[in-house]
Structure 1
Amino acid sequence: MTTSPRLSVLDLVPVRSGQSSSQAIAASLDLVRLADRLGFTRYWFAEHHNMPAVAASAPPVMIAAAATVTERIRVGSGGVMLPNHAPLVVAEQFAVLEAMAPGRVDLGIGRAPGSDPVVTALLRSSGPTSDVDRFPQHVQDIRSLMSAEGASVRLTSGQVYDVHATPAAESVPTVWLLGSSDYSARLAAELGLPYVFANHFSGQGIDEILALYRDGYRPSPEHPAPETFLTVNVSVAPTLAEARARALPQARMMARLRSGKPLGAQETVEDAASTPLDGLTSQMADEMLDRWIVDEPQAAARRVRELAARHGVDEVMVVPVAASRADESLDATPGRTQTLELLADALA
């Protein structure tokens, strides 16, 4: 029998129709408590901006909240979109998080902006932040700033000025590079860092990109061997029909996003079933459902094992995409809760 991989969670903090952001965040914090009790390895929060259906715009804030309501699970970012932020700000935020939850913090770093060009410009309107072209250097700067040695800056006067991320924690967060192309995979290999392939966003070229990472890996003191896992969108329910019905609202939202159509809060299961899309957008949504792991528990568990074995990973990070029904509590996320419970039980 194929060994079951470790399970982790990536949370976009979905906001459903009629739900406030406060209710959506409360539901996600309940979900991270559940993942902690179920034995999941890590729980990461994404960074997206100006999306009505997503409340995950500030990963460090969500990580801090999650750290206070959990005991053992690792908490982190999936990821901090570095071009939006100054490296010193990121280093200090995660130094604080590490001081709050020693040994439990992951700093996942991405290179994409996490939004459209207008919002990206607004994020950077207060001054220069992390230039995309300087991404490799800024990753190194963050690692240096969080280290016990800190970083040194040479001023125009010639004076060397020492800078440390404060408060100084007794340990440092684990830095991961995230991506769906070969750029971050090559950089992670060069720097000797763990790497995550964003399979939930784009499954194109996965084997080639993982091979580039593994074959080109340069061991580092902290990470002597390459370390990687995959993300995947998942909806699990007692029946395939229910799993598919609960995944449809998210698939429809992603199809609208990729076809440039207006976005709103996440639909309920009933709204998604009763509101037709145009032919091309509907086809895109159906194709997504076919690529995702949308199934009853035993079949979903088998597919997760097969995914991990096929790509040589021992951890899978699930994005629970199961939406809510109209009569379900706005303070809870029953579809996502069911997904984690059923999948964990089937893989046990």
Structure 2
Amino acid sequence: MPTIIVTGGAGYIGSHTTLALCEQGYDVVVLDNLSTGVAHAVLPPARLVECELTNADQVRKAFQGLDVTGVIHFAASIVVPESVENPLKYYDNNLITTSNLLAAAGEFGVKHFLFSSSAAVYGIPTEFPVKEGITKDPINPYGRTKLINEWMIEDMALALTMESSPYTHPGMTFANLRYFNVAGCDIQGRLGQNSPQATHLIKVACQAAVGTRDKLMVFGDDYDTHDGSGVRDYIHVSDLADVHVAGLQYLERGGESGVFNCGYGHGYSVLDVANKLKEVSGVDFNVEIGPRRAGDPGALVADVSRMNESFGWKPKHDDLAVILKSALDWEKKLSGK
């Protein structure tokens, strides 16, 4: 039976995507070293194989005996401040894993490759909403590894079309998916964001609402936005999971390789999020205003027309209250409240 391999499928976005694939009838094998993911997030019938993706032999072994038609690659180190403090960890982990996966894809005839990229490849954009074709100028090692990975995937796909390629391969199409801000948890409460050290605004705000943090810090209230706080394009994680399924099906239908922004195409400010969460939770948690953080743009909103038109995708959870309630319910579950 044809199989989709999902790397990092025990993590936040990967586990939701694995669930969405299984619900669409795909056979899914998750490769994860469980350094940040958790085994119980891989829900049956998906199968978990513990694998160190920086080890080429382990990657090859994981592919052997399977008819792998697609790879969806999430596994990566993703904490931006840590990438600045420890850049070689990010260059080693994020690039070697992709190189090993692409080598296996070439050897085992994988037809489709979807990559978890990021709006961090744009750096501080000067055009809004952000289109895929604008200048890419990442400002931290995390964003740079994402852009280099995109180039690696594009280069490998091109190489596989050449008669001189060392691989006997029918050709591979790809979709590099640039996420903006991912939030929320499975509506049915089956999955969520498990890392207590997560830096995502909505998880941090929910921790403040349930009392596992003493406050929510707002970094800057003097941006040129409607309330002075930064505006971001938040997409519900289950909608983003469905984007991956739609992207895979687009490639399976013969769609052209490309780069696609992933978001809703509109944004909410940090204070919008804080105020709405107080309303949803009924808790007047502490919000503290601090100075801007270096490198934070005032607004970051995606132009998602390419994704919508190519994939034929429509969101199911484009509602801030829905996003917040799903995240809050999960945080209550984690805290035992």
Q: Is the TM value for this pair above 0.5?
A: no
Give the structure with the higher percent helix.
1
TM-score, structure 2 as length reference: 0.35
